[in-house]
Every structure is written in C-alpha cells, then in structure tokens.
Structure 1
Amino acid sequence: MEKELIDKKFNDIDEKVDFIIELCQTLQAENADLTSKLGILESELKEKTEKEGQYSEQQAAIQAKIDGLLSKLDNFSEIL
C-alpha cells in the first residue's frame, strides 16, 4: 500500500515535469517568434526613420528653392 502511494506520487511528479517541459518548449518557440518579429519591426522602424529624414531634407530643399524664387521676385518687383 505504501509502495502504491509512492508510485502514485512519482507518477504525479513525472506528469508535472512533462507538463513543465512542454510548457518551456512552447514558450521557447513563442520567444523565438517574438524575437524574429521584433527584428523585423526594428528594421521597418529604421527604414521609416530614414525615409522620414529624406522627406524632411526634400521639404527643406523645396522650401529653400521657394524662398529663393520669392526673393528673386521681390528683387525684380523692386527694380520695376
């Protein structure tokens, strides 16, 4: 009878250990997926940040050209 109780406890422990091992494997797989997604998101963020910088540079260049043209028009109208 005591042996049966000990066997039952070992079986319970064995089942719980198996469950924990499966859970750890699942969590490791999820972690790998999330790490991969994080890398992709970081790459996309870097690309968007670079594009944003290029856009800002283009806007500044356009504004400088507009200011230059307005300045020329002002000078031309002053001459007339």
Structure 2
Amino acid sequence: MENEEILRQFEEIEQKVEKLIELCQSLKADNAQLINKINRLEHELQEKADVEKGHAEEKAFIRSKIDNLLVRLKDITEVS
C-alpha cells in the first residue's frame, strides 16, 4: 500500500514537472517574440528619430535662408 502511494505521488510530481517544463518552454517562446518585437520597435524608433532630425535641420536651413532674404530686403528698402 505504501509503495502504491509513493508511486502515485511520484506520478503527480512527474505530471507537475512536465507542466512546468511546458510552461517554461512556452514562456521562452513568448520572451523570444517579445525580444524580437522590442528590437523591431527600437529600429523603427531610431529611423523616425533620424527623419525628425533631418526635418529639424531642413527647417533650420530654410529659416536661415528666409532670415538672409529679409535682411537683403531690408537693406534694399533702406537704400531706396
């Protein structure tokens, strides 16, 4: 009788360990997917930051050109 109880307990433990192993494998797969998603999103974010930086530089360049033109116009109107 004791042997049967011990065997039953071992079977229960074995089933629980198998479930834990399956859960661990599932979590590893989920983790790998999340890591890939993080890497993809970080790459997209960097691309957007680069584009935004380019736009800011372009805006500054345009502002500089406009300021130069305004100065030239002011000089022309003062001479007239």
TM-score range, shorter-chain basis? over 0.9
Taking structure 2 as the reference length, the TM-score comes to 0.97
CA distance in 2, matches of 1:73, 1:15: 86
Amino acid at match of 1:26: S
The runs of 5 or more residues in structure 1 that have no matched partner are: none
Number of corresponding residues: 80
Displacement of 1:68 in angstroms is 0.6
Question: What does 1:29-44 correspond to in 2, within 5 Å?
Answer: 29-44=29-44
Displacement of 1:28 in angstroms is 0.5
Q: RMSD of the TM alignment (CA)?
A: 0.5
Counterpart of 1:23 in structure 2 is: 23
Amino acid at match of 1:17: V
1:44-72 deviations in Å (ceiling 9; x for gaps): 01101100110000000000011011001
Taking structure 1 as the reference length, the TM-score comes to 0.97
Displacement of 1:39 in angstroms is 0.7
Amino acid at match of 1:31: N
* Structure 1 runs (4+) greater than 2 angstroms displaced: none
Counterpart of 1:67 in structure 2 is: 67
Counterpart of 2:55 in structure 1 is: 55
The runs of 5 or more residues in structure 2 that have no matched partner are: none
Amino acid at match of 1:12: E
